[in-house]
Chains A and B, each alone.
Chain A
Amino acid sequence: MTDETPEQALETHETHEAQEAPDRKKIPGTGLVQGLATTFKNMTTRAHTHQYPDVAPELPPRTRGVIALIEENCTSCMLCARECPDWCIYIDSHKETIPAPTTGGRERSRNVLDRFAIDYSLCMYCGICIEVCPFDALEWSPELEYAEYDIKEMLHEKDRLTQWVETIPPPVALDDAAEEPKEIALAQKAAAKKQAALDAAAQAPAPTETETPPPAPNPSDPSASAPPEAPASNPSDPSASAPPEAPASNPSDPSASEQEAKGDA
């Protein structure tokens, strides 16, 4: 400090607030005043406290409050009970036989769920049971007010677990760029096939309507679900690699026509 040049000292004096270097000379007590200013500013700004019992908490959409049971989906397979790290799931079930649907057929048997209980005094909210359930019978619910006066009462039975199903929020909307869920993709594929069959049936009487000849899959392709009329209208079509749903495209759809043209080339 003592070996500072006068210029440096002047500069330090002018910009002492901006400079945070400990070696620089500060007006004594600056830090004390800053401390007072900080606490005073804190006092005049609103506290962030949420007064919980009076004001409902704003929970994030995927809050893990409690595990709810969708009873219809449960097959009593016991996977959740066996995967549970602290064995807090209790399942009792019995088998029932269903009479044969056709005469001379075999009787069918199915599991009937008698008891499904989760001991929330043991549960550590890991969510493994929800992950392993093959039929999505367990789901996170944001419900959080299920405290009891006795630890024994934390063992919640089926009736209580199914009540919480109502509080499960709908799934969060997918991202715009996200891949479609498998189930929806399969369903759309099946619908497209059916539509293709219908379209092909409608097109068969007048095949010259379209500008480009409608492509058809190779008749030898076993996966192709081409209608019987398609190969008949274009027997010499070379596009063997055309996707099976290609005929399903609407002839008036330009993008579909383009794709077909490329496939032809």
Chain B
Amino acid sequence: MSSLTWWLEVALRIVVVFLGFMVIPLVVGQLEHKAMAHMQGRLGPMEAGGFHGWAQLVADGVKFAQKEAVVPDAADRRVFQLAPAVALVPYLLALIVVPVGPGTQVGVDLDLGLFFALAVMGIAVLGPLMAGWSSGNKYSLLGGLRSAAQLMAYELPMLLAAASVAMAAGTLSLTGILGAWHWYWLPWQLIGGFVFFTAGLAELQRPPFDMPVADSEIIFGAYTEYTGLRFALFLLAEYAGIVLLCLLTSVLFLGGWHGPFGDAHLGWLWTAIKTFVLAFVVIWLRVSYPRLRADQLQKFAWTVLVPLSLAQLAITGVVRVL
């Protein structure tokens, strides 16, 4: 009996996480369509679904599913076909350990939650590398190499910033970190939050750090040769990555389910609000800023973000000892 309820609970948790994983990135994508359009003086999608084009991404998905999945002759078939899955699945795995509310409102309460999330996010960035290497296309290869250079530079400050929070809480468990969270962590971990969010943007190759997919230079970087559903999976991975980055940033640096009132019942709402506000910021930055050059990217990572994250570590350590 208890074994049955345990299985039911596991199944339910998996279904809920999977549904969230499939739906929330689409909501963020639609938000991007509309917010970006209005920031550029346009209306964005208005027809699909009737009301302000709410079903645009559903229609896009249907369209992608109908398209032919081409594998180029020169491509390394196996790697080429595997790359979208490598890009997408880790975000689903990482989502399982992120708590959305207090208590049991988390897929799996892992003791190594933070470590696990960052580790599988590190796998996700292998997707573009595999795609770029296996496509048999010089633009894809250039895009893959640019991705590699960028990820090398930005993985370090991201991990250092996350380590600062783990140091402050004294645990790697995400629920543990939220349990130890106090409002004064906001100013205390402010620099770390900035570094984590910015480095995460760069890992996701979102503008202004989108040099690996710069369409005016290398078509679409590592994704140039992809069509149909595999291309759609890469796009979904990008938005799932935004969701996960915003979730992690809000959990680590903005207090997750801690809100002004009703934490026990409204915790999921506070998490959702913080996540969507951060997702809006991601879109906002994309519209506002031009793309960084290769040298600017590297300079920004090594001379700004790494020192800042080290400074954050030092501040965290000093405050902890005091």
Stretch in B216-224, B284-292, B313-321 touching the partner: B284-292
The answer to whether B46 touches A38 (Cβ under 8 A) is no
Tell me whether chain A's interface is mostly helix, strand or loop, or mixed. Answer: helix
Q: Is A191 close to B, CB under 8 A?
A: no
Q: Are B288 and A47 in contact (CB under 8 A)?
A: no
Q: Which residues of A contact B38 (CB under 8 A)?
A: 42-44, 47
- Write out the residue numbers on chain B whose beta carbons fall within 8 Å of the beta carbon of A47: 37-38, 41-43
B12 within 8 A of A: no
CA distance A43 to B41 in the complex (A): 7
| B39 interfacial contact with A, CB 8 Å | yes
Residues 44-79 (chain A) with a chain B CB within 8 angstroms: 44, 47-49, 51
Q: Please tell me which one of the listed residues B37, B42, B288 contacts residue A38 in the complex, with CB atoms under 8 A apart.
A: B288
Contact, CB under 8 Å: A36 / B288: yes
For A48, list chain B residues within 8 Å (CB): 41
Contact between chains at A35 and B43 (CB < 8 Å):
no
- Closest chain A residue to B285, Cβ basis: A36
Closest to A44 in B: B38
* Contact among B41, B43, B289 for A42, CB-based, below 8 A: B41
Question: Are B35 and A43 interface neighbours, CB within 8 A?
Answer: yes
A39 within 8 A of B: yes
The residue of chain A having its C-beta at the shortest distance from the C-beta of B40 within the complex is: A42
Cα A43 to Cα B42 in complex, Å, equals 9
Min CB distance A161 to B, Å, is 34
Judge if A40 is at the interface, Cβ distance under 8 Å: yes
**What class of interface size applies to chain B in its complex with A?**
10 to 19
Contact: B39 with A49, CB < 8 Å? no
Interface residue A32 (Cβ < 8 Å from any Cβ of B): yes
Q: How far is the CB of B22 from chain A (nearest CB, A)?
A: 27
**Shortest Cβ distance from residue A49 to the other chain B in the assembled complex, whole angstroms:** 5
The number of residue pairs between A and B whose CB atoms lie closer than 8 Å in the complex comes to: 33
The answer on a CB contact under 8 Å between B42 and A36 is no
1/0 per residue, CB under 8 A from A, across B245-287: the answer is 0000000000000000000000000000000000000001101
Cβ–Cβ < 8 Å partners of A39 in chain B: 39, 284, 287-288
Chain A neighbourhood of B43, CB < 8 A: 47, 49, 51
Task: Give which listed residue, B39, B46, B285, B289, contacts A43 with CB less than 8 A.
Answer: B39
Q: Is B41 a contact of A35 with CB atoms below 8 Å?
A: no
CA distance A36 to B288 in the complex (A): 6
Contact A42 to B39, CB < 8 A, known contacts A32-B289, A35-B289: yes
Q: How far is the CA of A258 from the CA of B273 in the complex (A)?
A: 86
Q: Once bound together, how far apart are the Cα atoms of A50 and B288, in whole Å? A: 25
Looking at the assembled complex, report how far the CB atom of B31 sits from the nearest CB atom of chain A, in whole angstroms.
Answer: 12
> Which of A42, A43, A49 gathers the greatest number of chain B CB atoms within 10 Å?
A43
Residues of the B chain whose Cβ atoms lie less than 8 Å from the Cβ of A43: 35, 38-39
A163 to chain B: closest CB distance in Å?
Answer: 31
A36 to B284, CA, bound (A): 7
The interface residues of chain A lying within 8 Å CB-to-CB of B42 are: 47, 49
| B39 adjacent to A40 (CB under 8 Å) | yes
Q: Which residues of A contact B37 (CB under 8 A)?
A: 47
Residue of B nearest to A49 (CB): B43
A38: which B residues are within 8 A, CB to CB? 288
Q: Pick the most buried of A42, A48, A51: most chain B CB atoms within 10 A of its CB.
A: A42
Q: How far is the CA of A38 from the CA of B287 in the complex (A)?
A: 10
Nearest-neighbour CB distance to chain A for B286, whole angstroms, equals 10
Q: In the complex, which residues of chain A have a beta carbon less than 8 angstroms from the beta carbon of B39?
A: 39-40, 42-43
What residues on B are CB-neighbors of A44 within 8 Å? 38
* A171: min CB distance to chain B, Å: 36
A29 to B146 Cα, complex, angstroms: 27
Residue ID in chain B nearest A50 by CB atoms: B43
Cβ-closest chain A residue relative to B44: A47
Residues of A within 8 A of B (CB): 32, 35-36, 38-40, 42-44, 47-49, 51
Mind listing 6 A-B residue pairs with CB under 8 Å?
A35-B288, A39-B39, A43-B39, A47-B37, A47-B42, A48-B41
Give the top 10 A-B pairs by smallest Cβ distance, nearest first: A39-B39, A35-B288, A43-B38, A43-B39, A39-B288, A49-B43, A39-B287, A42-B39, A47-B43, A36-B288
Beyond A42-B38, A51-B46, list 11 extra A-B contacts (CB 8 Å). A32-B288, A36-B285, A38-B288, A39-B39, A39-B287, A39-B288, A42-B41, A43-B38, A49-B41, A49-B42, A51-B43
